Structure 1
């Protein structure tokens, strides 16, 4: 008899990709970006590999569009920590994020080198609100 994982346990075994869609991210303030398409692409590309969640505001508006990739429980045990990416306004960057997460994400797979250009460290207050 096979037991299904509980939703919480299943979610912990996957990365979480948090997409900001607040006052600046995902709005006309960042022109020329298919904001809805970005979320649709992440959900389609990641399927069961990660939970994609949309939040109102990550309070890093100067870096719109912001995406945070949180490691799976296995990735965290291997030393992975959440990675904050800003200015993710190019479909190629979205594709690179999806590929990295499918490969295991923080702690389990090296991100494509190009994502170094997008990575930033938010304030402790902002980081604590999302990562806890």
Structure 2
């Protein structure tokens, strides 16, 4: 089972990876998209999404907070231009220590963090499930 086990009744952090027209495609060269997704799945569940409508930030990874993080006020964290393994590792390490609402965002991840337009935020990532 991918990701770390969580206490009964709680949900772990989850990843959403964009894999459609730009993200996850040959348009973003030099990235092993399958390896990136597999690496993230080693830390937490991964959902592969169609276009998140922020193509100018390809490759996009969204970290949804755990139930503990959400209870503490954590909200989904959006990261763009995640086009190398070091950036993927930095995001995985942050999730490993708790992610949104639990652990402070490391300075290095500020380089990748962005606020998506309202139309992207109102999509499937706003649900709790």
Question: TM-score, normalising length from structure 2?
Answer: 0.88
| Cα distance in 1 for residues equivalent to 2:95 and 2:46 | 11
- What corresponds to 1:16 in structure 2? 14
Aligned position for 1:106: 100
Residue segments in structure 1 that go unaligned for 5+ positions in a row: none
Which structure: greater helix fraction? 1
Partner of 1:43: 41
Shift of 1:53: 1.1
Paired residues in the alignment total 120
1:24-72 residue CA offsets vs partner (Å, 9 max, x unmatched) = 000010011111110011112x0xxx22111111110110000001111
**Most deviating of 21-30 and 104-113:** 104-113
- Following TM superposition, the consecutive aligned residue runs of length 4 or more in structure 1 with deviations greater than 3 angstroms are none
Whole-angstrom CA distance in 2 between matches of 1:22 and 1:131: 20
2:126 maps to 1:131: yes
CA distance in 2, matches of 1:22, 1:110: 30
Point out the structure with max Rg over C-alpha: 1
1:119 maps to what in 2? Answer: 113
Within the candidate set 81, 84, 94, 1:90 is matched to 84
Report the RMSD for the aligned CA atoms in angstroms: 1.4
Could you tell me which of 65, 76, 81 is aligned with 1:71?
Answer: 65
Unaligned 5+ runs, structure 2: 1-6
